[in-house]
Structures are given as structure tokens and as C-alpha cells.
Amino acid sequence: MINLEIPKKFVPLVGQAHQVAEEVFRPISRKYDQEEHAYPKELDMLAALIDGMNDGSDLGGGAGAAGVRRTDNGDGGVRNGSNMSTVLGIIELCWGDVGLLLSMPRQGLGNSAIASVANDEQLKRFEGKWAAMAITEPEAGSDSAAIRTTAVLDEETGEYVLNGEKIYVTSGERADLVVVWATLDRSVGRAAIKSFVVERSNPGLKLDRLEHKLGIRASDTAAFILDDCRVPPENLLGSPEVDARRGFAGVMQTFDNTRPLVAGMAVGLTRACLEETARLMSEAGVEVDWDRPAANQTAAAAEYLAMEADYEAARLLTLEAAWMADNSKPNSLQASMAKAKAGRTCVDVALRCVRLCGSLGYGEGLLLEKWARDAKILDLFEGTQQIQLLIIARQLLGKTSAELK
Ligand SMILES: Cc1cc2nc3c(=O)[nH]c(=O)nc-3n(C[C@H](O)[C@H](O)[C@H](O)COP(=O)(O)OP(=O)(O)OC[C@H]3O[C@@H](n4cnc5c(N)ncnc54)[C@H](O)[C@@H]3O)c2cc1C
């Protein structure tokens, strides 16, 4: 059975992540919001420290997206593993700053893809590298099965030759590797989509531009052109076979691991907004009383209690999805539920907190206005709110993606 207390062995990790969020992220949060595209160099030392922590631990991740490999504990018992520790670490760090978490070296979403589906040899070869993830294209966002980037096997050299365009690649400029989704045969549909690990230094992977954004400005978002980009066959993740029966399963597996992480980011940001709002309300003489019905309190306190209930629901769904991943239970449904609830809650709570705090919430003197801007992405990338609801509906109704679009 799942126990939703923070597992004892992760308590120190949560404490350390919180300390980093408070002492490293928050003080530089505004600076890198204003200096979009500047590299937060403060993170280099931090990333080295985290590498050291992970090396010396059997807990896997803990701070970023790399620690989501599913391992069988063998004894059939219940475990709290690297998915749980990673989510807990991310919640704390995103209480500090989501954009800076996304900028942490070696913790990219491409690292999750590698951790999720790479074989042992690939895992070792790509160890210590920072990997971004490139799925989205100008004509393929929510419908990732529509991607047009092609991968053609060069029979002579054995290499795959990639051609196409990728947009909105988080950490695309800064990462060492980019995990690129491409199709081996567009006529076959989803089953022919494979992921390839491309070195950033590959001359066929051309950086086109960096995007300017509403929020998470500390995080770089790149667009690439793949122009006869040659990739060695050993950089294909998963099987090179096109198996129509397995369809999308290989690549989609990554999302079951990464959606709880993005939900965790939203949970962390939501808590930051709530705590800041409670502080400001208290300064203004509005106290929240958890022992009295909401209806008997001020409107502001009642609204706060309602937001907090949503936050708790999002947090528990997120922990459940991560726990299921650690225990090798299929969690596509729970991962989408967590992402949908946490993403929606985070946007909603951030905007309501800005409203509750009035001009203080809207001004740049505090971080609330920034958090309201940062929040939106968490309900957008790794599948929008609408797409998560669609996935949930398909699962509950037993419909395929062809039957329910
Ligand atoms: C800052 C940022 C970072 C990103 N990082 C990455 C990254 O690292 N790697 C990567 O590959 N991508 C990344 N993305 C891309 C992101 O995942 C996509 O933007 C997202 O999947 C939505 O795709 P789209 O923008 O093409 O919107 P569209 O798919 O065109 O959707 C537009 C709207 O229509 C809705 N919609 C679409 N289909 C349906 C449907 N069937 N039913 C109901 N509503 C629907 C959507 O919910 C949305 O509201 C990033 C995006 C941003 C903004």
C-alpha cells in the first residue's frame, strides 16, 4: 500500500533541495528573469554538488529529471525509489524557481528519455551528459504522431540521416545532447517514430534561434534545423524495428516518467504562491484558521483554504504517479491525472494569489507576478491540459487514439 508521508530516507534530500531553492535559486530568480538567455553560471557548482550527491547515493535522482529509470526491486515488495526522490526534490527546487530547475546541467528531459528507454551500454555512454528533448515541430505539437522529421538509414555507412525542423527545445542551446524524435517511415504512422541521441556538436544539427517567452526566462528554448544530420546506429534508443503492434509504446514510456516530474514542478510553484500569499495576508491582519469552517471566515481566508485543498489533491496525485513508476505499475492514467490537476491548479492558484495580494502581487517587488507568468508553461509542455484530459478519457472509456481524438 502507498504511504503518502515523505519516506524517512528522503527527508534529508528534501531538506537539502529546499535549502538550495531558498539560498541559491530565490536570490538569483529575478536576475535571470530579467536577463533572458544569460546562462545562470551559479548552477554549475550546484550541478557538480548534485552529481556528487547522486554518485554517493543509491537513491538515483533527487534533484532533476535524470533519475527516472524503472528498476525491478525483485522481491515484489513496495519501494520508494528514484522516481519518488526525484519528484520530491523537484517540488522543493520549484518552490525556489522553475526556470532555474529547468536550467540545471545534466537534468534535462532528454536525460529522462535516456534513463527511461536506453539500454545499459547507452546509459553508460551518455552518463554525465546533459540531454535536451526535441519532439515538437512547427506542424506537430500536441499531435506528436504527426512529426515530419525523417530518419533514413544509409545502407553504406549504417548511419541514420535526419532531416527536419524542431522547435521549442528546452535547454537546446546549453545541453550536450539532443534526443530527437524522427520517423523511419511516415506512411507507417506512430510505430515508425524513434528517438535518436544527437550530439549538440553534430554539424547537421543547426541552432536556428532562441525564443523569447512569457515565463521561465532563465531556461533557454531553442529551435533547430536538422540538415542531413548523420547519427550512428548505436544512438537510436530502443529497437530499430518498426513494430505496428507495439506502436508508440517505446517513446511514450518516457512521458509516464516525465509527466509526474512536470506535475511536481507545478506542485512546488503552487506551494510557493500559497506560502507567500499567506504571509502577505497575515501581515494585512487576515489569518487563516484551519479549525473553523471556511464559510465562517473572511472571503480571503475561505479562498485560501479552497486553493490549499486543490494543492493537496495535486500533490497526492503526483506522489501516487511517481510511486507507481517506482513500483513498476502502469501509470499512464495517473501520470496524466497528476499533470492535468497540478498544471491547472498551479495556473489557477498563481493568478488568484496575484489577485488576493493586489498591487503587491502584481509588482516586481515580489516574485508573485513572476510565478504567475512561470506557471503557464506547466500546463502546456509535456502535453497540454486538453491533451491530458483526452488521454484520461481514452483510458477510462477504453478507447484508442483513433476512436477518441
Ligand atoms: C517554453 C516551452 C518549452 C518547451 N519545451 C519543449 C521541449 O523541451 N521539447 C519539446 O519537444 N517540446 C517542447 N515544448 C513544446 C510543447 O510541448 C508544445 O508547445 C505543446 O505540446 C503544445 O503543442 P503546440 O504548441 O503545437 O500547440 P497545439 O498542439 O497546436 O495546440 C494548440 C491548442 O489546441 C489544443 N488542442 C490540440 N489538440 C487538441 C485535441 N485533440 N483536443 C482538444 N484540444 C486540443 C491544445 O491543448 C492547445 O490549447 C515547449 C514549449 C514551450 C512553450
pLDDT in tens, 26-59: 999 999 999 999 999 999 988 887 776 655 454 4
67: cell is 533519475
Q: Taking CB atoms and a 6 Å cutoff, what residues make up the pocket around ligand 1?
A: 109, 132-136, 141-142, 168-170, 213, 221, 377, 380-381, 384, 386-387, 390, 405
Rounded CA gap, 348 and 88, in Å?
22
Atom 30 in ligand 1: residue holding the nearest Cα: 141
What pTM value is reported for the model?
0.94
Rounded CA gap, 144 and 134, in Å?
11
Distance from the CA of 134 to the center of ligand 1, in angstroms? Answer: 12
- Residue 5 a catalytic site member: no
Atom 13 in ligand 1: residue holding the nearest Cα: 168
What is the predicted pLDDT for the residue at 58? 44
Site to probe by mutation for ligand 1, drawn from 210, 381, 382, 404 as the one with most ligand atoms within 8 Å of Cβ, is: 381
Q: Of the listed 92, 165, 382, 403, which one is catalytic? A: 382
Express each pLDDT in 163-208 by its tens digit.
999 999 999 999 999 999 999 999 988 889 999 999 999 999 999 9
What is the predicted pLDDT for the residue at 63? 45
Atom 24 in ligand 1: residue holding the nearest Cα: 141
Site to probe by mutation for ligand 1, drawn from 136, 143, 195 as the one with most ligand atoms within 8 Å of Cβ, is: 136
Rounded CA gap, 43 and 26, in Å?
12
Q: Which residues fall within 8 angstroms of residue 36, CB to CB, at 6 or more apart?
A: 212, 213, 217, 218
Residue 236 · residue 114 · CB < 8 Å: no
End-to-end CA gap in the chain: 35
Q: Which atom of ligand 1 is nearest to the CA of 109?
A: 8
Distance from the CA of 139 to the center of ligand 1, in angstroms? Answer: 11
The β-bridge partners of 163 are 150
109: cell is 528531459
Residue 75 confidence (pLDDT) above 70: no
Express each pLDDT in 214-273 by its tens digit.
999 999 999 999 999 999 999 999 888 888 766 566 667 788 989 999 999 999 999 999
Q: What percent of the chain stands above pLDDT 90?
A: 79
Residue 272 · residue 353 · CB < 8 Å: no
325 class by beta-carbon count within 10 Å (0-12 exposed, 13-18 middle, 19+ buried): buried
Q: Are strands 131-134 and 177-183 parallel, antiparallel or unpaired?
A: parallel
Residue 2 · residue 320 · CB < 8 Å: yes
